[in-house]
Amino acid sequence: MKKVICFFICVCFMMQSVVVFAEGNTDLGLNAKSAILMEESTGNILYESNPDERLPIASVTKVMTMLLIMEAVDSGKISLDDMVTVSENAMSYGGSTMFLETGEQLTVNDMLKGIAVASANDGCVAMAEHLAGSESAFVDMMNEKAKELGMENTHFMNTNGLDEDDHYSSARDVAIMSRELMKHETIFNYTSIWMDTLRGGKFQLANTNKLIRFYDGANGLKTGSTSKALCCLSAAAKRNDMQLIAVVLGAPTSAERFASAKSLLDYGFANYAVNTQITAGDEVQKIAVEKGVDKEVGVVAGDSCSTLVKKGQEDNITKEIKIDETITAPIEAGQKIGTMTISRDGEVIADIDLNASSTVEKKGIGLIIKDFFATIFFGSNNDTEENSEI
């Protein structure tokens, strides 16, 4: 009898293990060395396969190059209209190029087009020299940024991804830097281009990322292929306010690279949704202000928060608002005056600053005296205002 019971327990355990394994290992039929699917707003991973192996990533490297360019643009260090002069070194790079000539000048805007759409190796070097003085100095910046972002399995040796020893990344790290690049929304003006021109229409551009033309919602991000890296892709697509990032590394052919990315994106859009809990600037409530020219001020969210939910499952969200008990003028627009704590099933997922929507100046002595006498003779400030209109 004991043997029967033990056998039954073992069988049940094995069945349970098989169910857990099946639930945690969805087969998407990918043909690649490594892959990952990330939801952009939360950073949540929806699918992964060997995501941390260090692999060559070819021109997907240019995600980091574009990130540093966009940081320089958005910080005001450079502008999209700045002219970039091409050096002999930049002109000498082969592979995918925008056929730059030594001494030629193009705007940062045109360089970004060449890099994002045509995967221009020469454009990457020209921009690196423009921003850092030399490509090697720019590569140091790339590695420093990778460290800052927590990209533990990444090391860059060049700006464009040409095969070189000790130049590698991982699917997870590519997703991380892709997500960071997408915070600079202007980049989509380039990565979503299907066809365009440069040099007054004399040079045709066609996007190396075929999903831009053939996949609903595709808006980026970067392809790459070399004999060592095989075919790689960081693909981005957005539907119904959900932005996904699908990374495929080491696919044997270009067609299989795009097919794998499409399978990842299809899986994400079919099974998950993003619920917006609060958007930066949304007014939560109004609150009274003591000693202020205005009697109240709006309370607005200082940041946004979204939650990822599997379709068909309840998103059990609670929001707790804490406002400072006493709000006294003067108050500056944007001043923090409280916090919204957003929790799922009792676990805190975000603390959002709540800020004043506008500036409230402190009452001057004249207005304080006026309000004092109004209170004595009319009972309230509101009565004073109503009598003055009669």
pLDDT of 207 over the 50 cut: yes
DSSP-assigned states of every residue in 334-382: T-EEEEEEEEETTEEEEEEEEEESS-BPBPPHHHHHHHHHHHHHHSSHH
Strands 283-288 and 83-85: unpaired
CA 140/CA 127 separation, integer angstroms? 14
CA distance 195 to 212: 10
Average predicted confidence (pLDDT) for the chain? 89
Which of the two residues, 181 and 21, has the higher pLDDT score? Answer: 181
How sure is the predictor about 6, in pLDDT bands with cuts at 50, 70 and 90?
A: very low
Report phi then psi at 126, rounded to 5: -60, -45
96 is catalytic: no
How confident is the model at residue 13, as a pLDDT? 34
Mark whether 34 is an active-site residue. Answer: no
Q: pLDDT band for 366, please (50, 70, 90 cuts).
A: low
pLDDT in tens, 36-50: 999 999 999 999 999
Phi, psi for 132 (deg, rounded to 5)? -120, -5
Tell me which long-range contacts 248-253 makes (C-beta under 8 A, separation of at least 24). Answer: 248/30, 248/32, 248/34, 248/35, 248/171, 249/32, 249/33, 249/34, 249/35, 249/55, 249/57, 249/60, 249/170, 249/171, 249/174, 250/32, 250/33, 250/34, 250/55, 251/31, 251/32, 251/33, 252/31
Please give the single-letter amino acid code of residue 269. Answer: F
pLDDT of amino acid 368:
55
Catalytic residue among 34, 49, 59, 178: 59
Contact 238, 68 (CB under 8 A): no
The residue from 33, 62, 210, 262 that is catalytic is 62
The per-residue pLDDT for range 85-141, each reduced to its tens digit, is 999 999 999 999 999 999 999 999 999 999 999 999 999 999 999 999 999 999 999
Residue 365's pLDDT is 67
Confidence of residue 4 (pLDDT cuts 50, 70, 90): very low
Query: Global pTM?
Result: 0.82
Cβ atoms < 10 Å from Cβ of 61: 30
What is the model's pLDDT at position 383? Answer: 41
CA pair distance 231, 224, nearest whole angstrom: 6
Q: State the catalytic residue, choosing from 34, 49, 96, 119.
A: 119
∠ Cα 83 84 88 (to 5°) = 150
Interhelix angle 62-74/135-148, nearest 10 degrees: 90
pLDDT of residue 27: 85
For the stretch 136-193, pLDDT in tens is 999 999 999 999 999 999 999 999 999 999 999 999 999 999 999 999 999 999 999 9
Q: Mean of the pLDDT values across residues 364-385?
A: 57
Determine how β-strand 45-49 pairs with β-strand 218-226.
Answer: unpaired
222 annotated to bind ligand: yes
* pLDDT value, residue 103: 97
pLDDT of residue 252 exceeding 70: yes
pLDDT tens, residue by residue, 256-272: 999 999 999 999 999 99
Residue 384: pLDDT over 90: no
Angle between helices 62-74 and 171-182 (to 10 degrees): 20
**Residue 342 reports pLDDT greater than 60:** yes
Residue 309 makes CB contacts below 8 A (sequence gap 6+) with 272, 273, 274, 275, 315
Active-site annotation holds for 62: yes
What mean pLDDT do residues 289-316 have?
91
**Token couple for 376:** 């004595």
pLDDT for residue 373? 61
- Torsions phi, psi of 257, nearest 5? -60, -50
366 CB-near residues (< 8 Å, 6+ apart): none
